[in-house]
Amino acid sequence: MIPLSVLDLSVVTTGTKPAAALRNSIDLARHVDDLGYVRYWLAEHHNLASVASPAPDVMIGQIAAVTKHIRVGSGGVMLPNHAPLVVAERFKMLEALFPGRIDLGLGRAPGTDGATAYALRSRLDRREGDDFLERLHELILWQTREFPAGHPYNNVVAMPDDTALPPIWLLGSSDYSSELAAQIGMGFAFAHHFASHDAIDAMVHYRNRFQPSAWRADPHAILAVAVIAADTDAEAERLASSFDLNRLRRDRGQYLPLPSVEEALAYPYSDAERTSILRNRSRLFVGSPATVQRKLQPLIDASKPDELMVITAVYDHEARKKSYSLLAEAFGLAKREVA
């Protein structure tokens, strides 16, 4: 069966404040570590009332410290927000502390609105236009030490210097990152849960064009999908009502905490809003474990991911944990012995 991983936004709800959402992420990580999930990634978002974690590197250290087996990484660090040297130093530190368990996922979007992006970057060396490639190249050079002769960075060392950068993954929701990841021979993760680009096209494109490199000999493609599973289809649909209302609000630019099921069910939807919800459901897989598997299988067969990364956003934390438990059982994950 295909391996399963977790993408976590540390979702804030109307009943769960940001600090509690962060603690819930740590609790969920322990839970899925025992269930046999292979990877746990944290996203970077800023100035969003619905997302509690703007600093994935901080959360990675906390989660890696309380888990034993699962790989922990960023999904991802938004590289244009950070000096490449800082990213190199922080992830080399994490790799030194938790060897063989850290991933460095990189994105090129700001992860926020324009004003906040400016605040994040105003003291950085700002370059004109999209400077992701330039920053990625510099990040790689902190590992390879292949700066040109006479370059001032030849006298700068990213510490700890006895530790390599962890595996680098390029994240994307279009064909840009799939092409780049294939060209330079890195891992690739596609965000089906919010992408407008066709996931099958991006995944197949990456695999067909992959060039082996010092970073990776073979392609590895992760497909990130939004899933809500429960014991029955009816219960899963009830839980998904919070997601439906939250997504409807997001489409209007309202990034509010996730509403309760009761609030969502009581909301007076117009016909146009119900149509919008149905359209958004193309990015969400809802139902019992058997139903979710049936809905996911055509996408899995066509895109051929090496791994499914699941994001589950529901109001109740215990219901979220149960959703991951049900998926683990349905996909045949090997539950680990709890010491």
Residue given tokens 């994490």 in the structure block: 94
Which residue spans within 161-266 are E strands per DSSP? 168-172, 187-191, 221-229
Weakly modelled stretches of the chain, pLDDT under 50 = none
Rounded Cα distance between 299 and 303, Å, is: 6
- The pTM score is 0.95
Asked whether the bond before 298 is cis by omega within 30 degrees of 0, the reply is no
- Give the CA diameter of the chain: 66
Q: How high is the pLDDT of residue 315?
A: 98
Q: Structural domains in the chain?
A: 4-331 (3.20.20.30)
Rounded Cα distance between 42 and 35, Å, is: 18
Q: How far is CA 41 from the centre of its chain?
A: 5
Beta pairing partners, 155: none
User: Three-state secondary structure along 66-118?
Assistant: HCCCCEEEECCEEHHHCCHHHHHHHHHHHHHHCCCCEEEEEECCCCCCHHHHH
Beta pairing partners, 227: 285
DSSP 120-167: HHTTS---SS--HHHHHHHHHHHHH--PPTT-GGGG---SSTTSPPPP
In sequence order, the 6+-apart residues with CB closer than 8 A to the CB of 139 are: 79, 84, 87, 88, 106, 165, 168
Rounded Cα distance between 201 and 174, Å, is: 9
Rounded Cα distance between 321 and 184, Å, is: 37
